Amino acid sequence: AQTVTQSQPEMSVQEAETVTLSCTYDTSESDYYLFWYKQPPSRQMILVIRQEAYKQQNATENRFSVNFQKAAKSFSLKISDSQLGDAAMYFCAFYNYGGSQGNLIFGKGTKLSVKP
């Protein structure tokens, strides 16, 4: 069974600084997808960034980028130039399309605070 681990329950960053959120996962599959979701205090989870396991190139979306290390089963999220609006819970999630159709497997989340 796949598992997703986020070892940092809480993180804090100064506005305009860079922060990295960690995520590791365990799977025997070779073809899968990884996601980072953001859940602001308003509670709606929003997709931040996604990565296909077969792509070596790290995904980037504006200030958000990932460091995907397939051999190490690591998928960290880097937020550059942090803004107050980045404060939220961040969830790492795993998806194996070849297996379950809708079963995103989430980590426990990391609560990110941004200090002005």
Partner 1 sequence: EPEVTQTPSHQVTQMGQEVILRCVPISNHLYFYWYRQILGQKVEFLVSFYNNEISEKSEIFDDQFSVERPDGSNFTLKIRSTKLEDSAMYFCASSRLGHLYNSPLHFGNGTRLTVT
- The contact set with partner 1 (CB under 8 A) reads 4, 33, 35, 37, 42-47, 50, 52, 91, 95, 97, 100-109
Nearer to partner 1, 14 or 100 (CB): 100
What distance in Å separates the CA atoms of residue 77 and residue 81, rounded to the nearest whole number?
13
Which among 49, 115, 59, 107 has a CA at the least distance from the CA of 87? 115
Residues in the chain, overall count: 116
Judged by beta carbon, residue 85 or residue 102, the one nearer partner 1 is 102
> What are the CA-CA distances from residue 35 to residues 14, 15, 103, 111 (Å)?
24, 24, 13, 16
CB of 48 to partner 1, least distance (A): 10
- Nearest distance from C-beta of residue 15 to partner 1, angstroms: 26
For partner 1, which is the closer residue by CB, 3 or 14? 3
